[in-house]
């Protein structure tokens, strides 16, 4: 276990107290550092990210045009226009409600532990350790697998560009996995040697994405020889290719929107790198979802107007039809690649941002001793001011999980499914606990849902329960072993590791994240000033 010192020393311009001489923050915030120490942690990471940067990172992780493009085959199979458009609008509203529920809690407990820490603080003392353990593992696996799914589909998309010129080219399993590894290596390299530029990279993402959507919209509508009518775009529904009952296919198809809009809660892991996180991070979480929802509508409607023959798109060998769609509409391989390049640019921002958030989540969970080898993964490298080994672990886990593709051609379905399930349930845990405790901890939140809080929270918990069932389903029936959605298997595998490690070490040594001892968990309303109480772990070490 890593010991956290509960004493406070004001942070000067030269750096943070207890950080071992970290580089000075761009935006110094001694109150935030003191608040973090009251929550039981020393500030070790420089606070050099702005609200716009965090919003950009959240927007990058969701990567709307990229996410919708790489999962287009799901909705083309499960309902087409109605599922694509109205499914997106429905899930956008649901995601905005979940994001608001999380922002309400984040405003009270702004720490890199995110939902993992919130579950502990909102629970009773008796249940805090197990609540934080379960939530932490769900968050960790969700962060890893959403990064995996982004970069794996990115590798597939890069290879699909070759088919624009050579239609007979079908990438084999080794080519796909090696390309995926190359994408992971690029994202890891940017996170190491470009760490000081992450703020700029996240901001550029916003402008790149907005420009890309406008360029694609104008190009497709102006160059398309044949356009669909409004009736097709706004009311066409055809789930005959799914094999599911017509109504159920619509819900299975919601995986496209749910997966794309999953990553907003991951940026809570950046709270310790933002000045005034109790104000800036909640705003970034909610605004990013609102911006993503609007961006998705603007991106999808033009695509539906120019949509080529659906069967032609579904017959693409590697399951990534967007390049062929661009080529068909523009009438040339060069034109198709030009638009695809814009999507690949978004991949760069999405993969980099997701890996950043995953590494911070790994670091936060490891410093409480909840991962095998925690002492190693919880180290902050002073050369780069990043949790380097947590970054390496996140990259390595994803690279190994990519090997599932050798056993299942539908591995991407499994990655998207388990990422959506794990992150959704991890978001649901603190919301559910807050409900069960009467929402006492968030009554005076700086981002309060007010009188609508109960209704929104209850509705979101019900949706998350349904989502767990939905996103274990295969995209279409009948299904063979190689085409099965193995989300439940991957989920069960990580659950087995989590349970085994809990009984090996967790139940004896894991007490959850440190919480103030002067109040019961769930009754702390914000952290003000420089007053600090001892953490639960500090007390246990004294007794021991």
User: CATH number of the domain that 106 lies in?
Assistant: 1.20.1740.10
Per-residue burial over 28-47, b if 16 or more Cβ lie within 10 Å, else e, is: bbbbbbbbbbbbbbbbbbbb
pLDDT for position 194? 93
Instruction: Please provide the size of the chain in residues.
Output: 544
What is the three-class DSSP state of 383? coil
Q: How many CB atoms are closer than 10 A to CB 226?
A: 10
Which among 24-28, 186-190, 275-279, 378-382 has the top mean pLDDT?
Answer: 186-190
| Residues 177 and 450: beta-carbon distance below 8 Å | no
Looking at the domain assignment, is residue 524 inside a domain?
no
Tokens of 384: 């780069």
Looking at the domain assignment, is residue 151 inside a domain?
yes
Specify the number of domains making up the chain: 1
Confidence of residue 2 (pLDDT cuts 50, 70, 90): very low
d(CA 196, CA 335): 35
pLDDT for position 8? 29
Looking at the domain assignment, is residue 276 inside a domain?
yes
pLDDT digits (tens, 9 = 90+) for 353-382: 999 989 988 998 898 888 889 999 999 998
Q: Percent of the chain beyond pLDDT 70?
A: 86
Comparing 11-20, 81-90, 373-382, which segment has the lowest mean pLDDT?
11-20
Tokens of 295: 């961006």
Looking at the domain assignment, is residue 22 inside a domain?
no
Q: Is the pLDDT of residue 522 over 90?
A: no
Looking at the domain assignment, is residue 209 inside a domain?
yes
> In the predicted model, what is the mean pLDDT of residues 186-211?
91
> What is the CB-side half-sphere exposure of residue 251 using CA atoms within 13 A?
15
Looking at the domain assignment, is residue 284 inside a domain?
yes
Looking at the domain assignment, is residue 230 inside a domain?
yes
Range of the domain at 320: 48-509
What does pTM read for this prediction? 0.84
Q: Is the pLDDT of residue 486 over 90?
A: no
Q: Which residue has the higher pLDDT, 261 or 510?
A: 261
Q: What is the DSSP string of 256-299?
A: HHHHHT-GGGGGGGGGGGBSSHHHHHHHHHHHHHHHHHHHHHHH
Q: Which residues pair with 79 in a beta bridge?
A: 238
Looking at the domain assignment, is residue 528 inside a domain?
no
């Amino acid at each position: 276990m890593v010991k956290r010192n509960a004493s406070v020393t004001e942070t000067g311009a030269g750096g943070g107290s207890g950080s071992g001489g970290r580089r000075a923050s761009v935006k110094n915030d001694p109150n935030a550092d003191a608040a973090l120490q009251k929550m039981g942690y020393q500030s070790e990471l420089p606070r050099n990210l702005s609200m716009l940067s965090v919003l950009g990172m959240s927007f990058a992780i969701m990567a709307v045009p990229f996410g919708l493009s790489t999962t287009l085959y799901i909705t083309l199979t499960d309902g087409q226009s109605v599922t694509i458009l109205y499914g997106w609008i429905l899930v956008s509203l649901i995601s905005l409600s979940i994001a608001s529920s999380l922002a309400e809690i984040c405003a009270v407990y702004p720490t890199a532990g995110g939902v993992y820490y919130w579950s502990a603080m909102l629970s009773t003392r008796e249940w805090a350790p197990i609540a934080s353990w379960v939530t932490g593992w769900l968050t960790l696996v969700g962060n890893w697998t959403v990064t995996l799914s982004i970069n794996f589909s990115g590798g597939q998309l890069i290879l699909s560009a070759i088919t624009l010129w050579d239609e007979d080219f079908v990438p084999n399993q080794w080519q796909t996995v090696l390309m995926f590894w190359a994408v992971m290596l690029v994202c890891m390299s940017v996170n190491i040697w470009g760490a000081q530029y992450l703020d700029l990279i996240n901001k550029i993402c916003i402008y790149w994405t907005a420009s890309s959507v406008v360029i694609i919209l104008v190009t497709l509508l102006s160059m398309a020889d044949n356009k669909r009518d409004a009736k097709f775009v706004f009311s066409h529904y055809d789930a005959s290719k799914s094999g599911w009952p017509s109504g159920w296919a619509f819900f299975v198809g919601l995986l496209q929107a749910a997966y794309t809009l999953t990553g907003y809660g991951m940026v809570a892991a950046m709270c310790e790198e933002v000045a005034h996180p109790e104000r800036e991070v909640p705003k970034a979480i909610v605004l990013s979802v609102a911006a993503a929802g609007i961006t998705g509508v603007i991106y999808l409607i033009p695509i539906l107007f120019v949509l080529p023959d659906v069967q032609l798109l579904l017959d693409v060998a590697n399951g990534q039809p967007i390049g062929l769609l661009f080529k068909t509409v523009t009438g040339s391989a060069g034109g198709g690649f030009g638009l695809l390049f814009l999507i690949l640019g978004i991949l760069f921002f999405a993969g980099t941002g997701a890996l950043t958030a995953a590494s911070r989540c790994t670091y936060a969970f490891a410093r409480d001793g909840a991962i095998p080898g925690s002492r190693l993964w919880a180290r902050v490298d002073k050369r780069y001011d990043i949790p380097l080994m947590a970054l390496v672990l996140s990259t390595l886990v994803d690279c190994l999980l990519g090997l599932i593709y050798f056993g299942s051609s539908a591995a991407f379905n499994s990655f998207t499914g388990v990422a959506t399930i794990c992150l959704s349930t991890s978001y649901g845990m603190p919301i559910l606990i807050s409900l069960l405790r009467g929402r006492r901890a968030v009554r005076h939140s700086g981002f309060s849902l007010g009188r609508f809080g109960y209704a929104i929270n209850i509705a979101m918990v019900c949706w998350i329960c349904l989502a767990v069932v939905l996103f274990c389903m295969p995209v279409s029936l009948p299904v063979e072993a190689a085409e099965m959605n193995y989300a439940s298997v991957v989920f069960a595998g990580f659950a087995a590791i989590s349970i085994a490690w809990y009984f090996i070490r967790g139940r004896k040594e894991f007490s959850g994240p440190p919480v103030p001892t002067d109040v019961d968990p769930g009754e702390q309303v914000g952290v003000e000033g420089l007053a600090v109480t001892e953490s639960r772990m500090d007390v246990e070490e004294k007794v021991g």
